[in-house]
Each structure stands twice: as structure tokens, then as C-alpha cells.
Amino acid sequence: MKGILLAGGSGSRLYPLTKTVSKQLLPVYDKPMIYYPLSTLMQFEIKDVLIISTPHDTPNIQGLLGDGNQIGMNLSYKIQEAPRGIAQAFTIGADFIGKDNVCLILGDNIFHMDTEFITFKSEVKKNQNNRATIFAYEVSDPERFGVVEFDKNHNAVSIEEKPKQPKSNFASVGLYFYPSDVVDYAKDLKPSARNEYEITDLNNVYLRQGRMAVVPMHRGNVWLDAGTPNSLMDSGNFVQMIEARQGIKIACIEEIAYNRGFIDDKQMATLIDKTPKGSYRAYLERVLKEKQRNM
């Protein structure tokens, strides 16, 4: 499976923070925002990732992450010249996707999946090659999102973009899995009234065909859209709280690469040697020692 990380947009909701810096490079507690969606792709064991961003921001993101080889990944980059909607990612990344299944994640979405992650991963695997899989999360302000309506049997019956009168409190989150035919459907989309290629329109294509699985994320899982000042602050506070209480780091891409087998002991040690002295390096040293001790 391929992955696309859409790190575009103008960052207007976070202005003036984003006047000179990409929102995906803003800090969420102790790490750049982009580490969080990238870590989610890594948890789904996706190694080949296309990062799509703006002409201005792409060089800075590439300067941060490089080609991904240091964490056992293959990162490539393409430019979205103007913010024309989430679904445009599939036409920009058409050659990258080829005949593979693909996962799209938004660059300002942060996930902390609890024990249900195994279920989520199983659901995606069950549907791949034929059906799309998206996730829904209960929110207090559904009018800001794509809203999923379920029937009495918990099957999705409609998805509506930013409705004035939402039919449920379940929002479609910024994590989407599709078979390779998503490219053809994306090419056939028409721009909305906002002059954007809407991801909800694309999802409704699969829903009408009976090829869409919408998986609710229950309590214990966390989804945060860090694209506003309040949600950015909430995200940082959440990460700080979890890390302080549990002594672990959320979205530590080096740790995930090591634990998932993307890199070995020697490569992890090399990463540590290149990391400046400080709490982040100390944490990586602890991860390496603990795993070696338990082998």
C-alpha cells in the first residue's frame, strides 16, 4: 500500500503563525506537526509515501524529512500549486499510486489510537483492493466537517460536507483508504461551489456503489484537527499530558521505525549519534537499550 500525506493549504486558519512557516512545521508540543500524520502511516506499515505541499513549503518539509531512508522509508514530494481540495491529491499522485492501494492522510490531523488499532488495521486489510475505508469520530461541532449519517444497523447511508443541519455528530476524519481506482474517480470529479475537488464527493461515489466501509472510532481513541489556534493548543496539551504521565513519546518516528522493523539496531544507533544531545536523544537511547535488553 502507498501513502499520501497532504501537507498543502494556505494555513489561513492559523494566520499569522503561518505567514512564513508551513503549519505542518509548527510545533505540537515537542515535535513538528507533520511527524504525527507520518507516524500514523508508519503504524499502518506504509513505507512508500508521497508528500504533497505548496511550492513555498515543500523545500522546508523536504529539508526536515529528506528521502526517508534514515527511518527505512521512501519519501517523495510533489507540489500542489493552489489549494484546490483534498481529492486533488489523487490526480497529483496518480503516477505514484499506479495500481496500488493508497492511504491519504491530512497533514494537520493527529491520531492516538487505543487498543482498537488492531481492529482498524484488520478492517482496512479486509477491504483493500475493492472497497474504500474511512473513519468517523463523534464531535460537538459536526458542521465543520464531512458528516456521516448511519442507519439503525450502523451502516453509513450518507456523507454530507459541512452541513448547516448535520444528520449526526459523526465527522469523517482525515484518514482515507482506497483501492487504486480512486485515481479514475478523482479525475472525473467536478469542482464544488468552493471551486475545490471535495473528498466527500469522492467518498459518496464509493458509498453509492456499496463499496464504502465507515468505521466509527469509539472512546479511548483520539482524533485532533490541529488546523486552528485552539485545536493546535489542545493538541499540544494532549501530547504533553500523555507523554508526561506515561513516559512515552507520541509520534516519535524513529521509535516507530525501529519497533516496526523498518530499521535495525545499527541504523537506530546511527540515528541517535546524529541527534543533538537533549531529552529527545535521551529518549531514543532509552528505546534502543530497552529493546536490546528484552531481546
Q: Is residue 176 part of a domain?
A: yes
Whether residue 210 is found in the same domain as residue 290:
no
- Give the model's pLDDT for residue 154: 84
In CATH, what number is assigned to the domain containing residue 175?
Answer: 3.90.550.10
**Cell matching residue 52:** 504533497
Domain count, the chain: 2
Contact 162, 50 (CB under 8 A): no
The range of the structural domain enclosing residue 13 comes to: 2-135+168-263
Distance, first Cα to last Cα, the chain: 29
Q: Is residue 146 part of a domain?
A: no
Contact 280, 89 (CB under 8 A): no
**Cell matching residue 121:** 488495521
Q: Is residue 68 part of a domain?
A: yes
Whether residue 174 is found in the same domain as residue 286:
no
Contact 224, 236 (CB under 8 A): no
Whether residue 252 is found in the same domain as residue 270:
no
Whether residue 106 is found in the same domain as residue 23:
yes
Report the 3 state secondary structure along 198-250. Answer: CHHHHHHHHHHCCCEEEEEECCCCEEEECCCHHHHHHHHHHHHHHHHHHCCCC
Q: Is residue 219 part of a domain?
A: yes
Whether residue 104 is found in the same domain as residue 184:
yes
Whether residue 110 is found in the same domain as residue 131:
yes
- Give the model's pLDDT for residue 166: 93
Q: Is residue 158 part of a domain?
A: no
Q: How far, in Å, are 111, 123, 171 from residue 133 at the CA level?
A: 16, 8, 14
Q: Which residues pair with 75 in a beta bridge?
A: 49
> Does the bond joining 55 to the residue before it have cis omega, within 30 degrees of 0?
no
Q: Is residue 29 part of a domain?
A: yes
**Cell matching residue 231:** 485545536
pLDDT per position as a tens digit, 139-161: 999 998 999 999 988 889 999 99
Q: Per-residue confidence of the chain (295 residues) as pLDDT tens digits?
A: 999 999 987 778 898 988 888 899 999 999 999 999 999 999 999 999 999 999 999 999 999 999 999 999 999 999 999 888 999 999 999 999 999 999 999 999 999 987 789 999 999 999 999 999 999 999 999 998 999 999 988 889 999 999 999 999 999 999 999 999 999 999 999 998 888 999 999 999 999 999 999 999 988 899 998 989 999 999 999 999 999 999 999 999 999 999 999 999 999 999 999 999 999 999 999 999 998 887 7
Whether residue 99 is found in the same domain as residue 208:
yes
Contact 60, 22 (CB under 8 A): yes
Q: Is residue 254 part of a domain?
A: yes
pLDDT per position as a tens digit, 56-88: 999 999 999 999 999 999 999 999 998 889 999
Q: Which residues pair with 146 in a beta bridge?
A: 161
Q: Hunting for cell 494555513 — which residue is that?
A: 11
Whether residue 243 is found in the same domain as residue 195:
yes
Whether residue 129 is found in the same domain as residue 57:
yes
- Give the model's pLDDT for residue 223: 94
Which among 89, 91, 94, 88 has a CA at the least distance from the CA of 191? 88
**Pairwise CA distance, residues 43 & 260, whole Å:** 8
Q: Is residue 159 part of a domain?
A: no
Whether residue 209 is found in the same domain as residue 277:
no
- Give the model's pLDDT for residue 82: 87
Whether residue 120 is found in the same domain as residue 206:
yes
**Pairwise CA distance, residues 83 & 14, whole Å:** 15
Contact 77, 294 (CB under 8 A): no
Whether residue 178 is found in the same domain as residue 284:
no
